Amino acid sequence: MHLLQYLLPAAILFSACNTAQKATRNDAYATDGYQLVWADEFNGSGPPDSSKWRHEEGFVRNNEAQWYQPQNATCSSGMLTIEARRENKANPAFQQGSDNWRQRRKNIEYTSSSINTRGRHEWQYGRFVMRGKIDARAGIWPAWWTLGVRGQWPSNGEIDIMEYYRGMLLANVATGTATPYKAHWSTKTFSVDSLGGKAWADSFHIWRMDWDETAVALYVDDILLNRVPLSQLENKDGSGINPFKQPHYMLLNLAIGGDNGGDPSNTTFPSRFEVDYVRVYQKK
């Protein structure tokens, strides 16, 4: 028999499996009235798809210890890995005597990556799903979250679909207040120990947000963590603006230390935030 005769059945089977997997992905929430509108399965090799994601670079927010750089985010074997590393490099933004926390650090002690869909893809309402595995050790601060496209933070609105630090899993929604850069938080926290401890943290989980005209609801493994009615989410500044009645873009990042992340000094590196897929569904 020709080699093709051996290969053809396998090729047909592979194609059928791929079609079945795609159908399952596309139709996963069809009974709830959703259809898939955007996804990244991270099936490529190398950096994340630049048509979907952009990178943050440098010291960015929250007095965090890491320097964000593109090379710490890579795709391989159907997985996005954001890797935080302990390494010592000169801070190119260093300015002697500066009061700016980004500039007064002479050296970079940690590197990591933060990617987002700003200017690439934004959505208003939908079911957002991410399958991933986090590192729940000291000083590690992974997050999957969204920001509104209009307004100054936090008056543009923030949703923390998945956030972890200091032994806690958080499900947060933030609005603005009359004080610039001061958020009003609708927060629920859950200790990782209460969820299953190290065994839980060492496994993959599915985080989900259902966001519609009535509420923002946040889940892990189909367990409701937090639900906030949109009627409670107007900015607390008298403007009457509701930042969750506008499109949001999403972010994936792995931060170290900073205002909330805790002390990473006794944690061994690298640290990894692994993401199997991110999918967005909307009502038909």
Tens of pLDDT, residues 116-125: 999 999 999 9
Say what the pLDDT of residue 11 is.
Answer: 42
Say what the pLDDT of residue 26 is.
Answer: 81
Give the type of residue at 187.
Answer: T
E strand intervals along 99-157: 107-112, 114-116, 126-133, 140-148
Starting at the edge strand that comes first in sequence, how are the strands of the sheet with 248-256 ordered? 54-55, 114-116, 248-256, 140-148, 158-165, 168-176, 183-191
d(CA 32, CA 210): 11
Q: What is the pLDDT along the chain (284 residues), one digit of tens a residue?
A: 443 333 444 444 434 444 455 556 888 899 999 999 999 999 999 999 999 999 999 999 999 999 999 999 999 999 999 999 999 999 999 999 999 999 999 999 999 999 999 999 999 999 999 999 999 999 999 999 999 999 999 999 999 999 999 999 999 999 999 999 999 999 999 999 999 999 999 999 999 999 999 999 999 999 999 999 999 999 999 999 999 999 999 999 999 999 999 999 999 999 999 999 999 999 98
d(CA 221, CA 204): 10
Give the residue among 95, 86, 6, 80 at the shortest CA–CA distance from 39: 80
Say what the pLDDT of residue 27 is.
Answer: 81
Give the residue among 196, 105, 199, 183 at the shortest CA–CA distance from 151: 183
Q: How far apart are the first and last CA of the chain?
A: 49
- Extract the tokens encoding 230: 């949109």
d(CA 32, CA 95): 54
